[in-house]
C-alpha cells in the first residue's frame, strides 16, 4: 500500500521533471491565432511558474489542434511551461 503510494509519487515527479511546479492555470485573452506556425498571441495574466508578469506575447502550442477551438477575442485558461527552452502552452481551454 505505502510502497504503491511512494512509487506513484516517484512516477509523478519523473513525469513532471523540472515542470513540477507548472500546474497553474492562467487566464488570458486571444489576440491572434497562427495555426500554420502553431503559435498563438495571448494577453495573459501573471504566470507564476514562469515568474512572468502580465503582458501580451506569442506562445508556441504543444499541439496545433489546440488552436482549432479558439479565435481572436476568446477568453482562455491555459498552462504554460518551458519546453526545450521555448515557452509553450501545454493545455488550454476556453474560459468564461
Interaction site with Cu ion (CB under 5 A) = 52, 55, 57
Nearer to Cu ion, 44 or 66 (CB): 44
Q: Cβ of residue 54: shortest distance to Cu ion, in angstroms?
A: 8
Q: Cβ of residue 93: shortest distance to Cu ion, in angstroms?
A: 19
Q: Cβ of residue 52: shortest distance to Cu ion, in angstroms?
A: 5
Q: How far apart are CA 90 and CA 61, in angstroms?
A: 6
Nearer to Cu ion, 9 or 82 (CB): 82
Nearer to Cu ion, 38 or 45 (CB): 45
Nine-digit cell string for 56: 501580451
Q: How far apart are CA 81 and CA 37, in angstroms?
A: 18
Closest chain position to Cu ion (CB): 57
Strand 75-83 versus strand 86-94 pairing type: antiparallel
Count other C-beta atoms under 10 Å from residue 1's C-beta.
5
Amino acid at each position: 500500500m505505502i510502497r504503491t503510494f511512494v512509487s506513484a509519487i516517484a512516477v509523478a515527479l519523473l513525469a513532471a521533471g523540472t515542470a513540477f511546479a507548472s500546474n497553474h492555470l492562467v487566464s488570458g485573452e486571444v489576440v491572434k491565432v497562427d495555426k500554420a506556425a502553431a503559435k498563438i498571441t495571448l494577453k495573459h495574466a501573471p504566470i507564476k511558474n514562469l515568474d512572468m508578469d502580465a503582458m501580451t506575447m506569442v506562445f508556441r502550442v504543444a499541439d496545433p489542434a489546440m488552436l482549432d477551438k479558439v479565435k481572436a477575442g476568446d477568453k482562455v485558461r491555459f498552462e504554460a511551461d518551458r519546453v526545450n527552452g521555448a515557452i509553450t502552452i501545454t493545455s488550454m481551454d476556453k474560459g468564461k
